[in-house]
Structure 1
Amino acid sequence: MGKNKRKRSHTKHVFVQKKYRDALFRRIFNEKPVLLELYNALNQTDYDDADELIFYTIDDVIYLGYKNDVSFIVRGTLNLYEHQSTLNPNMPIRGLIYFGKQYESYIKQNNLNI
């Protein structure tokens, strides 16, 4: 009789590149008309002038390690949108940091005396 052959199970490991999904989110919503459409859908508004949007997205180069997906001001209100594909329990503190950095940038750019 032949040798006892075991079936080998080959498990393939799949590694998800979260940056690609993040980059896709940022690419799609980096266009003002599309972002305004998202804003209107989330806030039940019907704004139609995409030029009212002012981007305030934090860039990693400026803030050394801080980077967010999409943030903007529309009609005087600062908005921050983050794409999360998995549960992220530290998002509240990251949101606080992002908003602080964005307000700091806004204050400097507009020469406001606080």
Structure 2
Amino acid sequence: MNQTTPTQPVNRLYKSRIFAMLYSDRKDLLDLYNAVSGKHYEDPELLEINTLENAIYMSMHNDLSFLIDSRLSLYEHQSTYSPNLPLRYLFYISDLYSGMTKDENLYGTK
């Protein structure tokens, strides 16, 4: 018996926003960082959240970016294969570093 059941299309926008929503709380974001990194930070105020808003190459908001202890961390929910993910990461990280150093005299003299 080979029956197919009608399915609704996947709402990828909804799914991607859940990831960002789940980790919008500093405590939960710190728990994620500790789980991934093996660290044991306890103070959520140590996080400096610097997620880019409305990045021109990001059609969905499924990314999180923050600094803790001078370490830049970037997380993105990716449920399907995307061959351009490394390039998107490069663009994203370049924009982050550009924003972090905009007030520095990068090309000036000491």
- TM category (shorter chain) comes to 0.7 to 0.9
- What are the superposed Cα offsets for residues 29-63 of structure 1, whole Å, 9 maximum, x if unpaired? 11110000000000000001110101111111xx4
Conserved? CA contact 2:16–2:62, under 8 Å: no
> Which ranges in structure 1 are unaligned for 5 or more consecutive residues?
1-8
Q: Does 1:99 align with 2:89?
A: no
What's the TM-score once normalised by structure 2's chain length?
Answer: 0.84
Q: Percent identical across equivalent pairs?
A: 34
* C-alpha distance in structure 2 between counterparts of 1:64 and 1:72, whole Å: 19
Closer/same/farther in 2, CA of residues 10 and 77 from structure 1, 3 Å limit: closer
Larger Rg computed on CA atoms: 1
* C-alpha distance in structure 1 between counterparts of 2:12 and 2:79, whole Å: 8
Q: Does 1:113 align with 2:105?
A: yes
Match of 2:101, SS state, is helix
* C-alpha RMSD over aligned residues: 1.7
**Number of positions where the alignment pairs a residue of Structure 1 with one of Structure 2:** 102
Structure number with the bigger relative contact order (C-alpha 8 A, sep ≥ 6) is 2
> Which ranges in structure 2 are unaligned for 5 or more consecutive residues?
none
Q: Does 1:64 align with 2:46?
A: no
The one-letter amino acid of 2:105's match is N
- Aligned position for 1:32: 26
- Aligned position for 1:20: 14
Closer/same/farther in 2, CA of residues 68 and 24 from structure 1, 3 Å limit: closer
Closer/same/farther in 2, CA of residues 72 and 12 from structure 1, 3 Å limit: same
Match of 1:78, SS state, is strand
* C-alpha distance in structure 1 between counterparts of 2:4 and 2:80, whole Å: 27
Closer/same/farther in 2, CA of residues 96 and 57 from structure 1, 3 Å limit: same
* C-alpha distance in structure 2 between counterparts of 1:29 and 1:96, whole Å: 23
* C-alpha distance in structure 2 between counterparts of 1:47 and 1:71, whole Å: 17
Q: Which runs of 4+ in 1 moved over 6 A?
A: none
Deviation at 1:112, TM superposition (A): 1.5
